[in-house]
Structure 1
């Protein structure tokens, strides 16, 4: 097993705080998911049967353990208000999935709550995660050699992000999967990547 890099529990961007999940986030996470189900369900399998508060809290304990073991590096996305004294608001989730530390490589996934969509937050998050992942470990990064983003081409908002961040379209897989909300419908998958030599 290769030596694994130090993974930060927090990442700050100009407007956001990406933070390692905590079971205490359960109520805020449930609220963001419930308010966004119509937009999440066409693309996310997990959104078909969203977890209740107790199950979310239990799930976050598992997510936290996997983060600490570097098996799956999920971050909750918090919007940091400009006004002093106003608490951050959980507006989505992102992180590194499908990790293979032998390469090393991973895949970025993301979703932003409906009330905050269209404001560039997903791009801001993905840019920060891309920079951290592809920076060498000696420079404080994760030292990834390959980073992927996969999405349905019909998910236009999601599909616009990788090219904007200089990802290359590696493949358009036809009839690669089924629709998250209708398994009778076949869907395509776009695979984008950035690599470091």
Structure 2
């Protein structure tokens, strides 16, 4: 009787430890989604342009694309167009976007690695910053450049707890003009 109880106890202990090990490895990869802001008003002289109707539609497409993901944080630069791009997704996920400086990609990469390890985050930036952010996270650029008219890239960087980060590029929402 004692031996059977002891075997049962060891079995429970083994299952508990196996469950802990499994949950640790499952959450060890950080996923960073990167997008450029939606289409902006190109009228001359605007210092901080708003989104156009196409940009507003892209913001809704981003919400639809990432709204079912477990996004832990949303980072945006401090411009009207980036904040408007994340607004529908932030509302859906009940998250307050965090403002970062596009001039310090290394600081944001370090913050993501430190504070959001094993989680998913979204970074919204600009055509001249999101590829640099991929590199700051340690991955190679999945595309060589992002054209000024291209607003439909969704970059995904996977940062494993051990090993090298990888990045992929896909498109979302309405295709940008070529």
Q: TM-score, normalised to structure 2's length?
A: 0.28
* Greater relative CO, 1 or 2 (CA 8 Å, sep 6+): 2
- Structure showing the higher strand proportion among its residues: 1
